[in-house]
């Protein structure tokens, strides 16, 4: 028994010396522990991963880039063809327009030139607005002028009324405007006879040229009748739908509409123009015009250009 106990004690001592040597080689004072099975399985799985997967991913990215480049090239080719076709179409249209024979001294052309001169006389930097307004009136459309106060928006409409020699109506709208301001008051006699009609004489339904300032401040009570009047040239008066003689309505505003309910009114204006104030270079001419003197001291006419004694546009030309 003593021999067996001594042999076991010697084996235990040898095991302790072996563990101490292993710990010393590893540079750690922690006791020796065998590797965990999970780490062994992870290492095995990592070694068994196929090396072809990263290469396959790289090849897929390269194929995608090649496809994107091909799509961009196709789009570029299509755009180039469209641009070339458009350029040819525009060139052909310009050439055809040059080949159209028009009489240089035709009566209509003389009338239009005279009307442009008459409308822009005494105004500075309003040549484009004058031509757009005349175009709108001759085509039966409406003109929207956007710009700050003091840019001759209402003056243009008044000059168009004087040129056409037609009935003129002008009104400034506010948030509190009522339909009676535009379409006329209710007929008291009609109410006595149980008829809901308006007295429209002298109001928008009987005007041929109209100017409505701050038009986008119109409320819902005004919008319905105004939209029909602008688009269909019709006005609902009581139980009757009456035609209106309106040639052109010039609308003015200091800002664009912000409410969605005003989008339909904005669409009624086919021609829209932003009007800017007179530039600083024209202040001197503006002061001379305000004083009643010619804008150009070397010219005897009070305006832009020379006078014109040709035929003038009349109401039949606008109709």
Terminus-to-terminus CA distance in the chain, angstroms? 138
Its pTM surpasses 0.85: no
Contact 234, 244 (CB under 8 A): yes
Predicted confidence at residue 44, as pLDDT, reads 56
Edge-to-edge, what's the strand order for the sheet holding 168-172? 168-172, 209-213, 248-253, 143-146, 271-274
Predicted confidence at residue 53, as pLDDT, reads 56
Predicted confidence at residue 104, as pLDDT, reads 52
Predicted confidence at residue 49, as pLDDT, reads 54
The label of the residue with tokens 């005349």 reads 134
The pLDDT averaged over each successive group of 10 residues in the chain (319 residues) is 51 62 52 51 55 58 75 84 82 66 67 89 90 93 94 92 92 93 93 91 95 93 92 92 94 90 92 90 80 66 48 69
Sign (positive or negative) of CA dihedral 292, 297, 303, 308: positive
DSSP state of 252: E
Query: What token pair was written down for 129?
Result: 């607005």
DSSP state of 249: E
Query: What token pair was written down for 230?
Result: 């602008």
Sign (positive or negative) of CA dihedral 260, 263, 264, 266: positive
């Amino acid at each position: 028994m003593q021999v067996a106990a001594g042999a076991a004690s010697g084996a235990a001592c040898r095991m302790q010396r072996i563990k101490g040597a292993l710990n010393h080689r590893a540079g750690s004072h922690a006791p020796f522990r065998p590797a965990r099975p999970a780490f062994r399985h992870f290492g095995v799985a990592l070694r068994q991963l196929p090396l072809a997967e990263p290469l396959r991913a790289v090849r897929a990215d390269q194929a995608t880039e090649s496809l994107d480049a091909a799509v961009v090239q196709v789009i570029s080719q299509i755009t180039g063809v469209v641009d070339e076709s458009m350029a040819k179409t525009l060139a052909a249209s310009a050439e055809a327009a040059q080949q159209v024979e028009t009489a240089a001294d035709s009566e209509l052309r003389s009338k239009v030139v005279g009307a442009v001169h008459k409308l822009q006389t005494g105004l500075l930097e309003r040549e484009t607005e004058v031509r757009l307004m005349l175009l709108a009136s001759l085509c039966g459309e409406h003109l929207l002028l956007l710009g700050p106060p003091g840019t001759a928006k209402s003056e243009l409409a008044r000059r168009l009324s004087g040129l056409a020699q037609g009935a003129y109506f002008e009104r400034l709208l506010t948030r509190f405007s009522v339909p009676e301001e535009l379409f006329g008051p209710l007929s008291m006699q009609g109410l006595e006879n149980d008829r809901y009609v308006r007295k429209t004489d002298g109001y928008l339904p009987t005007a041929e040229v109209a100017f409505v300032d701050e038009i986008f401040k119109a409320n819902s009570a005004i919008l319905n009748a105004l939209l029909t009047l602008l688009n269909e040239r019709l006005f609902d008066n009581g139980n009757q739908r009456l035609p209106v003689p309106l040639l052109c309505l010039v609308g003015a505003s200091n800002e664009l509409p912000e409410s969605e309910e005003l989008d339909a009114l904005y669409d009624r204006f086919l021609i829209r123009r932003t009007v800017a104030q007179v530039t600083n270079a024209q202040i001197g001419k503006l002061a001379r015009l305000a004083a009643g003197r010619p804008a150009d001291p070397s010219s005897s006419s009070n305006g832009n250009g020379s006078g014109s004694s040709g035929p003038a546009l009349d109401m039949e030309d606008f109709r």
